[in-house]
Amino acid sequence: MTTGGYPPPQQDPRATGGHPGAPSYGATPPDYTQQFPQYGAPQNGGPQYGAPQYGTPQNGTPQFGAPQFGAPQYGAPQYGAPQDGGFGGPGFPGPDPNFGAGTPGELLPRLGARIIDGLIVGIPMGILSAIMILASGGSGFVDFFMTVVSGVVAFGYWTYMESARGATVGKKLLGLSVAGPAGGNPTLEQAAKRNAFVALQILTGVPLLGFLAGLLSLAAYIGIAVTIEQDGNKQGFHDKFAGGTRVRKS
């Protein structure tokens, strides 16, 4: 049968790969998105399966590889929390909590403690020196010897009491104590450096040199008082010379 005098179009086997029933050239291709909805445009605005949705959790599950804000990331250090083996962790001890604790001692109580301690040491040594000089008939050598002994005793008293007890008798009476740079009592060396100016008393019995030692001792007391008042932590230059000792209220 013909249409309008023309024969019907014949299907070319080459166009269908030799298979009858395949669409010919010019035919509309089938819409595969109707058969396979996961490919092509999203259905009803929903997410495409098989592709990760970055920044959007699926069914409440976080997406791996994307940072979750407010949650710690595994493998990354958490700032503000000590890591194992870090400073303050089990690997190393933390700082001494007693370091710098307490209110710094003011100048006047510290001066009062020095006066009390000076009387505690000076009165017995003065009585002993007078007895020794009178017994020797006013010997100049005995006078010099007792001056040296008095200086050694005064230096030893401050050094021992501060290193072993943390305070002299005068400081305890006025509610003061001495702490080392790392907390606790200062070491014997630190206490000796802190009270080195007291040892100048040993030289006061030497002619001429004793006068100079007296001036140096007076200058040391004035310098300590000035630096205590000017320093925010009430540390005199003798405290800083000792490595950072502190006088604080007990």
Nearest to 110 by CA among 221, 192, 185, 213: 221
Q: What pLDDT does residue 210 have?
A: 87
pLDDT of the residue at 3: 46
What's residue 250's pLDDT? 79
pLDDT of residue 115: 97
Helices 140-160 and 107-135 cross at an angle (nearest 10°) of 150
How far apart are alpha carbons 4 and 94 in whole angstroms? 103
The pLDDT score that the predictor gives to residue 8 is: 55
Report the alpha-carbon distance of residue 139 to residue 134 in Å, rounded: 8
What three-state secondary structure class fits 132? Answer: helix
Residue-by-residue pLDDT tens, the chain, 250 positions: 444 555 555 555 444 444 444 444 455 555 555 555 555 444 554 445 444 444 444 555 545 444 444 444 444 444 444 444 333 444 333 444 444 557 999 999 999 999 999 999 999 999 999 999 999 988 889 999 999 999 999 999 999 999 999 999 999 999 999 999 998 999 999 999 999 999 999 998 888 888 999 999 999 999 999 999 999 999 999 999 999 999 999 7
Identify residue 194 by its one-letter amino acid code.
R
Q: What pLDDT, on a 0 to 100 scale, did the predictor assign at position 138?
A: 84
pLDDT of residue 197: 94
Residues 63/57, Cβ–Cβ less than 8 Å: yes
List the structure tokens of 232. Answer: 């925010």
Q: What is the pLDDT of residue 9?
A: 53
Contact predicate 235/246, CB 8 Å = yes
- Answer whether 192's CB lies under 8 Å from 203's CB: no
